[in-house]
Amino acid sequence: MTKLTKIGRFRLINLITKFPLHPIFIAIYPVVFLYSHNIKEVYINSIFLPIFVILLITSLATIVLSYFLKNLHKASFLTSFLLVSFFSYGHVVSFFGGVKLEIMRVNIFNDYILLDFWIALTFIIIFFTLRSRKGFRNITPSINIISAFLVLFSVANIVISGLTTGSIIFSRSNLTEISNLQPKKDAESKNLPSVYYIILDRYADEEILKEDFNFDNTNFIDFLQKTGFYVARDSYTNYPKTFLSLAASLNMEYLDELSKNYKDKNEWSLMYEHIYNHKVLRYLNSKGYEVVHFGDWWEPTRINKYADKNINYYGTGVMDEFANKLIETTLIFPIIKQDPTWYDKVRNGHLFKFDGLAKISTTKGPKFIFAHVILPHEPYVFGANCEPVNKKVKLGTPEEKVAYINQLKCTNKKVKVLISQIINNSNPKPMIILQSDEGPFDEEFRGGVGGKIDWAKLSTKSLRSHLKILNAYYLPETENSNLYPTITPVNSFRLIFNRYFDANFETLPDKIFMIPSMDKPYIYIDVTNKLREK
């Protein structure tokens, strides 16, 4: 080895151990840590923009502090501390979320007290850092090594996951382009009806609302029936989570074949392709239908690159679900969340969608309109009369049940108006499927949405509460005799295509599945007989 090479290695080691690189590592760490714990749900390209933005802000902060403090090591330490304080607050709140310690009848782990304490502690440490005469040069190597190790540990988890599961999903751009679509025909001249597939997220079945929430939803069901809907009164979702339920209904088939490929995997994103490039879209597109996609903030249905038109209040790129989750871990989140404008954004997203669906019904030509309406799903931003609500509600509490019913009442009001507008504006009369993807989560889910529990230990009552759904069909110009009370989403479009397009799809047995756990979303347990038993 030459003397020059030795000098080069020495300089590299000296740079790594003594130059303050830790702000870079600490800036990257929150993003890769969050991604490593959400690989199954998130595209890896979602981390690139947050990393770039945080690194840019970190670099600018370090440069500015160095200029004023005249000390790079001290400025770097202060930058790293501010990053730690900023990105660790949400994790601290989560850790103390279930802890209750009262002093003079005040819980000292209340969110507001924790926020005040954290801000005060941050300012105290900043004050003493600025007052300190030490150069911070001696602690730089230690912080470099620790921060680098944290980043490498998370990156290793990501790499291991990629190797053990077969792939890391980069983005929806990896999806295979549709190659078997026929050119669009002059479908308008055939006077074909538009098809609306409206998903009301976590909308409970009528019986479940009465049993679990003590709420009578007869008024809404009567409205649907008087309007001409067939309401399947004993319908269940085929699968217990949205991404599975939609993959089945939009492809008109069970996921048995897919589960063979994914059985040992847990990334939800592996299923997203089947929500984008689905059989219903391909079939109607081949018939000359324009595909219009109304997405929401949930990443898998936010946009669909295969649709002719995407309509979404939240846009199509910058602030995806991962970025929102990252913000929830930060010190700024409680300030943003308490600001009415945060609630306004969620609320306006819902109102924008209802208005957009009404407007699209006035346009000519046959369209397939898919709309994922995340109502009455939380966050709870509407009161019973659709008045604004700007209050955080803890999930799994009696307070949440009240908030859920109030938001459901508002949803009913909005849907009634929308259904009337769609029918009155449409010529010919449209086909409408109004369906929930899953129901709410009762007490056995411990205030969660299925994570960290053994689904096999859930009672029949709990499974029924979550799996029984609203399922209603408006099919004009035909008899509803082929519809039946126990129809499940997997058969919805099979029946419609047979009736309206003389297709020859077989009616599948109506099965209901659950999963062992959220970490095993591609292993399916048939609970049809268990739930159908009277």
Q: What is the pLDDT of residues 7-30, one digit of tens each?
A: 555 555 565 667 899 999 999 999
DSSP three-state, residue 196: strand
pLDDT of residue 318: 44
Distance CA 164, CA 178 (A): 29
- On the question of pLDDT at 6 being above 70, the answer is no
- The partner residues of 309 in beta bridges, in order of sequence, read 292
pLDDT of residue 30: 94
pLDDT of residue 183: 38
Q: Which phi and psi angles does 471 have, rounded to 5°?
A: -150, 105
Q: How confident is the model at residue 534 (pLDDT cuts 50, 70, 90)?
A: low
Contact 297, 324 (CB under 8 A): yes
pLDDT of residue 199: 98
Going by the DSSP 8-state scheme, the letter that residue 382 receives in this structure is B
| For residues 455-465, average pLDDT | 93
Peptide linkage before 430 cis (omega within 30 of 0): no
Peptide linkage before 428 cis (omega within 30 of 0): yes
- On the question of pLDDT at 320 being above 90, the answer is no
| For residues 220-229, average pLDDT | 97
Nearest to 30 by CA among 89, 95, 102: 89
Nearest to 295 by CA among 271, 268, 275, 323: 275
Going by the DSSP 8-state scheme, the letter that residue 505 receives in this structure is P
Q: How confident is the model at residue 169 (pLDDT cuts 50, 70, 90)?
A: low
Q: How confident is the model at residue 177 (pLDDT cuts 50, 70, 90)?
A: very low
- pLDDT, one tens digit per residue, over 95-146 is 776 566 666 666 666 777 788 888 999 999 999 999 887 778 889 999 999 9
| For residues 186-190, average pLDDT | 54
- On the question of pLDDT at 77 being above 50, the answer is yes
Distance CA 23, CA 101 (A): 35
Strands 431-435, 195-200: pairing is parallel
Contact 526, 512 (CB under 8 A): yes
Which residues have C-beta within 8 Å of that of residue 228, sequence separation ≥ 6? Answer: 423, 474, 476
Peptide linkage before 376 cis (omega within 30 of 0): yes
Query: Exposure pattern of 126-142 as b/e (b: 16+ CB <10 Å)?
Result: eeebeeeeeebeeebbe
- On the question of pLDDT at 481 being above 90, the answer is no
pLDDT of residue 343: 84
3-state helix, strand, coil in the chain (%, to 5): 55, 10, 40
- pLDDT, one tens digit per residue, over 28-64 is 999 999 988 877 667 777 788 899 999 999 999 999 9
Going by the DSSP 8-state scheme, the letter that residue 271 receives in this structure is G
Q: What percent of the chain has pLDDT over 90?
A: 56
Strands 513-514, 431-435: pairing is unpaired
Nearest to 40 by CA among 530, 518, 524, 529: 518
pLDDT of residue 357: 97
Q: Choose which CATH entry (3.40.720.10, 3.40.50.720, 3.40.50.12780, 3.40.50.2300) describes domain 195-262+273-518.
A: 3.40.720.10
- pLDDT, one tens digit per residue, over 258-299 is 778 888 777 777 788 889 899 999 999 999 999 999 988 887
| For residues 374-397, average pLDDT | 92
Q: How confident is the model at residue 158 (pLDDT cuts 50, 70, 90)?
A: confident
- On the question of pLDDT at 160 being above 90, the answer is no
| For residues 454-462, average pLDDT | 92
- On the question of pLDDT at 327 being above 80, the answer is yes
DSSP three-state, residue 531: helix
Distance separating the N- and C-terminal Cα atoms of the chain = 81
pLDDT of residue 58: 96
Which of 172-181, 359-368, 439-448 ranks highest by mean pLDDT? 359-368
Q: Which phi and psi angles does 530 have, rounded to 5°?
A: -60, -40
pLDDT of residue 332: 84
| Boundaries of every domain in the chain | 3-165, 195-262+273-518
pLDDT of residue 182: 38
Q: Tell me, what amino acid is at 294? A: F
DSSP three-state, residue 309: strand
| Residue 517 burial (10 A CB sphere; 0-12, 13-18, 19+) | middle
pLDDT of residue 104: 63
